[in-house]
Chains A and B, each alone.
Chain A
């Protein structure tokens, strides 16, 4: 069964900490995405990547960075966590192109205290 695996289901971090969220896919997908999901705001794109070592800013990249050193792994980095980054973070992957379905991970619920 193909899947996208996010390393943690729940995380609690302190304000100012550097936080790493890891995502691994086993489908050989070119595209990978990081979203955050907040009640009433839907899915907001933070960063995406079309290939190894490539990254593109999404709609809300401020306060985040990403790393894609290998095709199967896409990491989201919160450089200095803040309370307004408390959210559900979802990783997704897809084949190249706009007509392919996204496969999502189960999400990481991050709480910054």
Chain B
């Protein structure tokens, strides 16, 4: 119940295309869903996050779509650029538990081909 399942493990997208990464969870107590972006040689950095009271959140070319009934959320990268090539991690947590940690997906290595 603690797992967050992320797919695909790797993804190759042409420049200008849409990149889509999916995550699924089981624990209905989760109420905070961030995405992190990691470039080679760097630690992951918070990219965008969503709460389950909204179905979509957009920041620039990055959009999180959230489906509470299906317990799934996804990251869409519009007009993908070579600079978006990175590893992306989804995560989830229960904010009502003050000591709760983030539960991480396994990561997706995204390559944008020029």
Measured CB to CB, the residues of A under 8 A from B are: 4, 31, 33, 40-43, 45, 48, 50, 90, 92, 96-99, 101-102, 104-107
Contact = CB atoms under 8 A, between A and B. Distances in A.
A33 B101 CA distance: 10
Contacts of A97: 95, 98, 100
Interface of B: 6, 9, 32, 34, 36, 41-46, 49, 89, 93-102, 104-107
A92 B43 contact: yes
Given A31-B101, A98-B96, 9 more contacts: A40-B9, A42-B106, A42-B107, A50-B99, A90-B44, A98-B102, A99-B95, A102-B102, A106-B43
Given A42-B106, A98-B94, A101-B34, A48 B43 contact: no
Given A40-B9, A50-B99, A4 B105 contact: no
12 contacts: A40-B106, A42-B6, A42-B106, A45-B101, A90-B44, A97-B95, A97-B98, A98-B100, A98-B101, A105-B43, A106-B41, A107-B42
